[in-house]
Amino acid sequence: MSAGTSAAPRHADAVVVGAGFAGLYMLHRLRRLGMSAQVFEAGSEIGGTWFWNRYPGARCDIESLEYSYSFDDELQQSWHWSERYASQPEILRYIHHVAERFDLRRDIRLNTRVASAVFDDATGRWTVRTDAGEVMTARFCIMATGCLSAAKVPAFPGLERFGGATYHTGLWPEGGVDFTGQRVGVIGTGSSGIQVIPMVAKQAARLFVFQRTPHFSLPARNRPLGPDEERETKARYAGMRKVARESASGVAGYPVPTHSAFAVDASERKAAYERHWNDGRTAIGRVYTDLLTDGAANETAADFVRDKIRAMVRDPDVAESLLPRHYIGTKRVCLDSGYFDTYNRPNVTLVDLRRQPLVGFTSRGLRTEAATYELDAVVFATGFDAMTGSLLAIDIRTDAGASLREHWAAGPRTQLGLMSAGFPNLFFITGPGSPSVLSNVIVCIEQHVDWIADCLTELKRRHHTRIEATRAAEDDWVEHVNEVANRTLFPIANSWYMGANVPGKPRVFMPYVGGVGAYRNICDAVAVDGYRGFESCGD
Ligand code: N01
C-alpha cells in the first residue's frame, strides 16, 4: 500500500516512531525476537538528530569511540573513527553503515510523520495514523522520537516581515548554505550556537551574535584519532563499555569524583581544573563530589572557567558579556573549537541582549532597544522543545478517553521513563524520567531497547499481550525523580532540562539525575521482581 491512500490498515507486531540511533537498534532487536515491525521516520533519510542537525561545525561532544553502539562487537571493531570527536557527516555515515550492515532499511518508511496513535481497548492494539493518511495497527507502539528533535523558533515580533533568509540549526538545509559576503545574525549561544558561530564567522562578511544568556564552554581539543589509540581502545572495548554502563554519565573516560572541592586547597583545585581544561572533555562538574550540589563548591569551577574566558577574549567589555552567571553544569556544558577566539575577529560583533533587549525583526534585519542591524540571513540556534515536544506533537490517546497531553499537562509522568500509566503497550526510549540527555545517550538507548526487548520476551513467556505501568509506581517514580533533582543545583537554572526555554511549559526537571549505572540497576531490579510497578495480562 502506498502512503496517502485510504486503503485498509496494515498490521505489524510493533510500530517504531523515529529512525535515529534508538529506532534503528529497536528495529534490530524486534527482528531478533521474530516480531514484525514498521518504523516511520519524518525525515527524508535515517539518522534522527544527526540527519537534521547538519549545520556547519556540528560535532559530537562525547568521544567517537564511546559515542557508538556497543551491541555488536564486530561492528565496533570494524568501524573506523577518524577524529576524537566525530563530525556530523561522519556520524551520519556510521548510522547508514549500521542500517546497511543489519539490513534495516526495508522496514523503515521515510518522509512519513506520525500524526496520531490511539489505543483500542477491545483489540488491545494501537492504531497509528501518518500525516499522509496511512493507517497501521500494532500491538506495541515504541516512541524513538528523540529528546531534542522538536526544533523551536521563538515567536519573535515581526519575524514574518523579514525579507532575508532564515535557518534553524536543527532543520538545516540538506544542500548546505553559503554565507560568503553576507551579513549574518545568529540568535542563541547554547551548544548549537557555540559550534556554528565560529564556522559562520569564517565565511560571512559580518557576523552579529545575539546573545541572551552566555553559556559555559570548554575547548574540545579535537584531533585526528591515531591508529595506536584506536587499536588500544578497541582491544579493551568490552571492559570500557562495562565501565560506561555502570558509570554516572555513561562515559568510561569521565573522572569519578572521590572528595569535596573543599577537601583540597585552592591551588590544588586550580591544578585539577587546569588538567581538565587541557584534557578537552565536558565533565568538569565531575571533578569533585559536590560541584553539582553545593553552590560554593560549584563557584570554584565556574570562576576558573570565567577566568579562562577573560584571558581568551581581547576586549574586556565583550569578555564581561560572555561570562556565564549560572552554576556550571546545571545547563549543558558546551565543547567548542575556537568559540571565544571568534570574538577577537574584526568581522564579529557580540550583541548582548541583556544590555540591549531584542525588540524584534524589521523587514531588513533585527532591532534591539539600542540599535538596528541590517542582515541578509538569520540563523536560529534557539534550541528545542526538549524531551516532551516530539512526543506531545503526536496525538497519543486511548479510546477510553485518556490523552498523553492531558496526562502530562503539569509535566511528564512516567514509570522509569519507559511507560506512562493508562497507556498500555506504549514504550518511550530515553523518555522523561530517565537519564537520557544527562548522559552518553547511546548507552541509555541501548539499555532501554534491551529492557523493552526483554520485557516483550517475558510477556510472550507469560502468554500475555498487554503491559501497563501502574499509577502507584508512576507516582512513586515521579516523586523520586524530583527528590533526587532537588538535592542538586540543577533545578535552579533556567534550562531546557526544566522546560524553562518554552513559554508556558511546566517547570519540572525532566531527566533522571541519579546516574546511568544506578538507574540501570533500578530497571534491572524491577524486571527481576517480575516487572514490579507494571501489570500485564492477556486479551
Ligand atoms: O539549544 P539551547 P541548542 N531570544 O536551548 C537562545 C544538544 N546539542 O540547540 O539561554 C534570544 O541550549 C537561548 O538563550 P537563553 C545539547 O544537549 C548537543 O544550542 O534561553 N535568545 C540559548 O542561548 C544541547 O544542550 C550538541 O537565554 C533566545 C539558545 O537560544 C541541546 O542539544 C550540539 C531566545 C538555545 O540554546 C540544545 O542545544 C548541539 C529568544 N527568544 C546541541 N530563545 C553536541 O553534541 C532561545 N534563545 C555538541
Q: Whose CA is nearest to atom 34 of ligand 1?
A: 382
Atom of ligand 1 nearest to the CA of 191: 19
Neighbouring-strand partners of residue 117: 128, 396
Sign of dihedral through CA atoms 148, 132, 380, 405? Answer: negative
Give the CA-trace dihedral at 342, 345, 346, 347, to 10 degrees.
-40
Q: What is the pLDDT of residue 496?
A: 96
Strand 365-368 and strand 10-17: the pairing is unpaired
Q: How far is the CA of 101 from the centre of ligand 1 (A)?
A: 34
Give the integer Cα–Cα distance in Å for 107 and 15: 10
87 Cα to the center of ligand 1, angstroms: 19
Atom index in ligand 1 nearest the CA of residue 53 equals 39
For residue 7, what pLDDT is reported?
66
Which residue's CA lies nearest to atom 25 of ligand 1?
332
Q: Whose CA is nearest to atom 22 of ligand 1?
A: 188
Q: Whose CA is nearest to atom 36 of ligand 1?
A: 190
Nearest atom in ligand 1 to 194's CA: 19
Cα separations (Å) of 253 from 63, 86, 331, 361? 9, 16, 21, 45
Residue nearest to atom 20 of ligand 1 (CA): 501
d(CA 535, CA 512): 23
Q: Could you tell me the CA-to-CA distances from 401 to 120, 396, 406, 414 in Å, in that order?
A: 10, 10, 10, 18
Residue 73 CA to residue 69 CA, distance in Å, equals 9
Residues having CB within 6 Å of any atom of ligand 1: 59-61, 148, 154, 169, 187-193, 195, 212-213, 332, 335, 353, 358, 381-384, 437, 496, 501
What is the pLDDT, as a whole number, of residue 2?
Answer: 41
**Rounded Cα gap, residues 367 and 375, in angstroms:** 11
Walk along the chain (539 residues) and give the pLDDT tens digit of each residue.
344 445 678 999 999 999 999 999 999 999 999 999 999 999 999 999 999 999 999 999 999 999 999 999 999 999 999 999 999 999 999 999 999 999 999 999 999 999 999 999 999 999 999 999 999 999 999 999 999 999 999 999 999 999 999 999 999 999 999 999 999 999 999 999 999 999 999 999 999 999 999 999 999 999 999 999 999 999 999 999 999 999 999 999 898 999 999 999 999 999 999 999 999 999 899 999 999 999 999 999 999 999 999 999 999 999 999 999 999 999 999 999 999 999 999 999 999 999 999 999 999 999 999 999 999 999 999 999 999 999 999 999 999 999 999 999 999 999 999 999 999 999 999 999 999 999 999 999 999 999 999 999 999 999 999 999 999 999 999 999 999 999 999 999 999 999 999 999 999 999 999 999 999 999 999 999 999 999 999 98
Q: What are phi and psi of 438, to 5 degrees?
A: -90, 10
> What CA–CA distance (Å, rounded) separates 426 from 466?
10
What are 452's three cell numbers? 523493552
pTM (predicted TM-score): 0.97
Q: What is the DSSP letter of 122?
A: T
Percentage helix, strand, coil, to 5, in the chain? Answer: 35, 20, 45
At which residue does the C-alpha cell 556497543 appear? 70
Q: Which of 61, 90, 192 to mutate to test the pocket of ligand 1 (most atoms within 8 A of CB)?
A: 192
Give pLDDT, residue 5. 45
| pLDDT number for residue 539 | 84
Q: How would you classify the pairing of strands 125-130 and 365-368?
A: unpaired
Q: Which residues pair with 209 in a beta bridge?
A: 186, 350
